[in-house]
Structure 1
Amino acid sequence: MTALFSTLELRDLVVPNRLAVSPMCQYSCERDGLATEWHRVHLGSRAVGGAGIVMTEATAVEPRGRISAHDLGIWSDEHAEALEPITEFVREQGGVPGIQLAHAGHKASKSRPWEGNEPIQPDDGGWEVRSPSPDAYPFDGDPPAMCEMGRDDVETVIEAFRTAAKRSLEAGFEIAEVHAAHGYLLHEFLSPVTNRREDEYGGSFENRTRIVREVTATVRDVWPDEKPVFVRISGTDWLPERESWTLEQSVRLARDLESLGADLIDVSSGGLHPDQQVPAGPNYQVPLAEKIHDETDLAVGTVGGITEPEQADALVRNDRADLVLVGREFLRDPYFGLRAADDLDGDREWPIQYRRAVQK
Structure 2
Amino acid sequence: MNILESVDKYIRERWQDIIELIETENDVEIKIKYPNEQFSSQSNFKKESVFNDDGEKILDLYFLSKNGDFSSNLKKRLEKLKVIIKKDIKISANVKKAGGKLNFNKSNELFEDLEFLSLLPETNPNMVLIVECNGNIIYSNKSTHQWLEKNGFSKEEDIKVLYPKSFKNKFCSSCGHFDLKSEKVDYKGQTFDFKIKPLLPNEKCMIILTDITEIERLSKEKELYYKAFQSSIHAMLITDTKGNIKYVNPKFLDLYGYEYSEVIGKNPNILNPGKDKYYDLGYPKQKYHELFRGLWMSISDPKKGYWEGTIPNQKKNGDIVWVNLIISAVHDSSGEITNYLGMPVDITERRKENLKIR
TM-score, with normalisation over the residues of structure 2?
Answer: 0.22
Which is bigger in relative contact order (C-alpha 8 A, separation at least 6)? 1
Which protein has the larger Cα radius of gyration, Structure 1 or Structure 2?
Answer: 2
TM-score by length of structure 1 reads 0.22
Counting strand residues as a fraction of each chain, which structure ranks higher?
A: 2
